[in-house]
Amino acid sequence: MKLKINIIEVDKSIILFIAIDKLSNEVVGRCSLKLRENKTIRYQDALVDEKHRGKGIYKNLFYARERYVRKKFKNYVIESYCKDSTINMFLENGFNIDSKLYLVKKKKQALKANLKAV
């Protein structure tokens, strides 16, 4: 699959990277970054369409974002939350694990049962 990556500056703090299949013109993935205080950038919202996973789209988005940051934001700290499926990509590109993030859920029924009137 041949990709083109469009970069959209949504506003002064959010930059979006869109992966488009050159043949079909279909959006097949996206990721973004957010400029934060103290010269910090947070990578966020990486997503590849299920039917196109395993084709290197995430890798293309990752490196497009890295090139953009290297060119426009020298001396910024970059941080990101990532999944087990992408941790090696980050580690291979100079990131270090700073902390672990936990996903927790609460069933809707439990939420209703635990509500108290104030």
Q: Could you read off the pLDDT of 5-29 as tens digits, one per residue?
A: 999 999 999 999 999 999 999 999 9
Domain count, the chain: 1
pTM over 0.85: no
- Residue 39 placed within a domain: yes
- Residue 109 placed within a domain: yes
Burial of 43 by CB count in 10 Å (0-12 exposed, 13-18 middle, 19+ buried)?
buried
Amino acid at 43: Y
Domain hosting residue 100, numbered range: 3-113
Q: Could you read off the pLDDT of 39-95 as tens digits, one per residue?
A: 999 999 999 999 999 999 999 999 999 999 999 999 999 999 988 889 999 999 999
Q: Cα–Cα distance between 32 and 44 in angstroms, integer?
A: 5
CATH code, domain with 11:
3.40.630.30
- Residue 34 placed within a domain: yes
- Residue 118 placed within a domain: no
Q: Residue 112 above 80 pLDDT?
A: no
